Amino acid sequence: MPVSSSGLAVLRTEAGEVSLPFDTITCSAGQGVHEMYSKRIHVAWFGIHFFLLTAVCLAGVFWLIAEGSTILPSAWDEYARKGELGATWCLAKEAGPSNPVRRGIATYLHAAGIQAGYTFFAPNVPSQHRLTLELLYEDGRAEYESPHVRGKTAALRLESLLDRLADQRYEPVREVLVKMLAFSVWREHPDVKKVRATFGAVNPPGMNEFEQGNTETFQPMFSFDFSLRDDQKQ
């Protein structure tokens, strides 16, 4: 393409010569390169996102099969366990807790809201957790209470807190949190001598058990005894 002395690019066509600014042609070429790289970045991001999403879903599905929660034969359990390990390896869950790759993937999964697969939903409803407070009086009487909340929002937050307490990572702060919940009940019963807090999982009955009339079962996990009167004096 010839360039005139005035800095204009000259395009020869059948109708004649058309002069365009040389800077305009350079800018158009630069925009084309930028768009090309932008498309490549979007395609790469979509591929990584879809790969992680698939790994999360497969890990959940393989876990269900390995646990025998499906109608598939038990002979598939071993292969499903291997598939689960492969999917969790893709998510870097086999690496150490301080591994930067594992932390980066976990952060992205939670930020994107794709950290949980199908196992989060029905029909595989997870177990609930319950905190029972046994109020012991001086005369030997015993009453049973649960932590009190105000409103549906507070109840939802309490349920979330109880689910967190079941995690081993929260073991160092369990006693403190349970004591705070027990103290909120004790304020309404100031004559209580001691409070025994029992935390456990509430397991709903299976289909066959429900048809036989069985109800939910409570499986204790840990308990604490609090002498709240002594704490008040301190």
Q: Is the entire prediction scored with pTM above 0.85? A: no
pLDDT confidence of residue 210: 72
pLDDT confidence of residue 18: 47
Rounded Cα–Cα distance for residues 219 and 156 (Å) = 22
Residue numbers of the chain with a pLDDT score lower than 50:
1-16, 18, 20, 232-234
Closest Cα to residue 133, out of 83, 188, 95, 94? Answer: 188
Long-range contacts, stretch 117-126, CB < 8 angstroms, 24+ apart = 117/56, 117/57, 117/58, 117/59, 117/60, 117/61, 118/57, 118/60, 118/61, 118/64, 119/60, 119/63, 119/64, 120/60, 124/64, 124/69, 125/204
pLDDT confidence of residue 162: 83
pLDDT confidence of residue 126: 59
pLDDT confidence of residue 30: 63
pLDDT confidence of residue 213: 78
